[in-house]
A and B are shown apart, each in its own frame.
Chain A
Amino acid sequence: MIRLENVSYSYSDGKPAIRDIYIEIRKGEYIGIIGRNGSGKSTLALHFNGLLKPGKGKVMVKGMDTRDISMLQEIRKIVGIVFQNPETQFIGRTVEEDLAFGPENLCLPPEEIRRRVERVLAEIGLENYRYHSPKTLSGGQGQCVALAGTLTMEPECLVFDEVSSMLDPDSGKLVLKHVKKLHEKEKTIIYITHNLEELHDADRIIVMDRGRIVLEGKTENVLSNPFLLDLGLTPPPLMDLAERLKKHGVMIPWEKTSSPSNFAEEICQLFLKT
């Protein structure tokens, strides 16, 4: 669905932000991208729908080249991005207006815009906030509005760039729940984060460092790779604990490290059986 071929990009000072990136993303995949600050994650994110054009190499979205300006509108209908700070993405005076902005710009008929706004308001659970100004909402609600604004474009692929880093754990989980649901609806998900715990449901993880891909593989294998520590990334505490318990003969399967209660349940079974 999206293919990056040998993509490099340098900022105006000549410093390369990403180098020789090759990524192939299939329809319906859920991909996590991790890496320390300055590793090039956000620069990469901006390439997925042509907000940045590669300095070298090319980015193809369903066969369309992001360097081709005539294709950009089509590409952005397919790939939507949700950013870290929801406030920078608000345009409308009310949540409803904000959600209508994207489809209005696609020159859709009013009934279709209304249909989409209603559907997304219900889907994300924002019906009660439709007349609120997005700026008066809390961080978590704000991030849901930003997500909803992208969803009214009905994209096939969603890119999330550190969407939960400004949210409290519960709001973060709420956003993540929506991400999971979207994945179940066969949307393609690209989820960028520092918080490795959030990637439990991802199919595959790409690790970036200094602009390059340094590690790539199944979520389970990447998150338990000790190399992460050298890259300045800490494994999620429950996974870390499971790895260490393994050395003492206490085996906690990977699926059980997804939540404190699953983890505790597994230990109980191990300790209390017989």
Chain B
Amino acid sequence: MPIILENVSFFYSKNTPLEITALKDVNLRIEKGEFVGILGENGAGKSTLIKLFNGILRPDSGKVTIDGLSPSSKKAKSMIGMVFQQAADQLFCRTIYDEIAFGPLNFGYSRKETEERVLEALEAVYLDRTMLSRNPFSLSGGEMQRVALACALALRPDYLVLDEPITGIDPSGKKEILETLKKVKDQGTAVITVTHNLNGLFPLLEKIIHLQEGRISFQGSRKEYLESENVPLPPIAAMMRELKSSGIQVNPALFTVEEALEEILRVKSIIEKKKTEK
């Protein structure tokens, strides 16, 4: 069973002069095991949308269900692991062990089961066991982000929901987080991530939801996204599209440097061949 949103709308400061429409008539369906990217400009409603998934916010109209359950139910909450952009905002324990153990203990798992989950989650985010006794606030931003991710993974969620997981993290740290997410996905968990980062996360996304002013302006596969108009493209894809529209016969739906290199060289050799034939 999936996450289903039906005609969901959400307003901030409803019925006041400052009312803001954050989401309007949103319909979507996210299955387990999917890797979904939620894209859109700042203020498009992305963060509001994911807060509906675990009942932090409730829709003003429409319906949200998680495997048929209300997002506010304890069962549904145990299925959804959330990681927010500011990792420091969701950390509060004195040691990293307590931090990661907090979720499982609260859902009533035994000390032994909890310990197992803590160690498993720690390993999944590439952190060392010697860190367990350290204070989370003594960590660097990138390490904190990984601890926050471990906290969510310790719940062994069916849906892992992340808000900008690689923002502010350097490329080598990014690579590790991306590997973790890929592994989690391969184990059958849905990974749902809000992102602007069209370079880092883009290659992992299978499905893309693009929000614009609170509405879904695009929903489909990555391939369809690359072919669609009026969506922000990764730099390589944007460049390939420009090439195509200037009359060079390239396949525009490419986004990696390797693919673009190969494609440009292919077209170059065709053009050169034609010239010599003339």
A244 in contact (CB, < 8 A): yes
> Known: A194-B170, A244-B257. Is A168-B196 also a contact (CB below 8 A)?
yes
**Does B1 reach chain A (CB closer than 8 Å)?**
no
A271 and B41: CB pair below 8 A?
no
- Band of interface residues on B: 35 or more
**CB proximity of B140 to chain A, nearest CB, Å:** 5
Contacts of A268 in B (CB 8 A): 243, 246-248
Of the listed stretches A22-30, A177-185, A230-238, chain B binds A230-238
The answer on a CB contact under 8 Å between B235 and A238 is: yes
Bound Cα distance from A166 to B196, whole angstroms: 8
Query: In the complex, what residues of B have CB within 8 A of residue A260's CB?
Result: 233, 235-236, 238-239, 241-242
Interface centre among A36, A37, A38 (most CB of B within 10 A): A37
Contact A238 B236 (CB under 8 A): yes
Interface segment out of the listed B95-103, B149-157, B260-268: B260-268
* A271 x B20 contact (CB < 8 A): no
CA distance A267 to B250 in the complex (A): 12
Given known contacts A168-B42, A237-B234, A241-B260, A271 and B267 CB-to-CB distance under 8 angstroms? yes
Give CA–CA (A246, B197) in the complex, Å.
27
Chain A 208-251: CB-based contact to B (< 8 A → 1; otherwise 0): 00000000000000000000000011101110110011001010
Identify the closest chain A residue to B85 (Cβ): A166
Bound together, the chains give a CA A99 to CA B168 distance in angstroms of 26
Q: Mark B165-188, 1 if CB is under 8 A from A, else 0.
A: 001111111000000000000000
Q: Are A139 and B43 in contact (CB under 8 A)?
A: yes
Q: Report if A238-B173 is in contact (Cβ < 8 Å); known contacts: A140-B41, A169-B198.
A: no
Q: How far is the CB of A177 from chain B (nearest CB, A)?
A: 15
* B247 close to A194 (CB less than 8 A): no
Across the two chains, which residue of chain A brings its CB closest to B271?
Answer: A271
Q: Does A162 contact B (CB under 8 A)?
A: yes
Do B261 and A237 have beta carbons less than 8 Å apart? Answer: no
18 CB-based A-B contacts, threshold 8 Å = A13-B138, A36-B173, A136-B12, A136-B20, A137-B43, A165-B167, A165-B168, A169-B232, A237-B234, A238-B236, A238-B239, A241-B257, A241-B260, A248-B265, A250-B265, A250-B268, A260-B238, A265-B246
Interface residues of A (CB under 8 A from B): 13, 35-39, 84-85, 136-141, 162, 165-172, 194, 197, 232-234, 236-238, 240-241, 244-245, 248, 250, 260-261, 263-265, 267-268, 271-272, 274
Ranked 8 nearest A-B pairs via Cβ: A138-B43, A264-B242, A232-B172, A36-B170, A260-B239, A260-B238, A139-B42, A138-B42
- B residues near A (Cβ < 8 Å) are 12, 18, 20, 40-43, 85-86, 138, 140-142, 164, 167-173, 196, 198-199, 232-236, 238-243, 246-248, 257, 260-261, 264-265, 267-268, 271, 275
A141-B42, A232-B171, A261-B239 known, 20 other contacts, Cβ within 8 Å: A13-B138, A37-B141, A37-B142, A37-B168, A37-B173, A38-B140, A38-B142, A138-B42, A139-B42, A140-B42, A169-B196, A232-B173, A237-B235, A240-B257, A241-B260, A248-B265, A250-B265, A264-B239, A267-B248, A268-B246
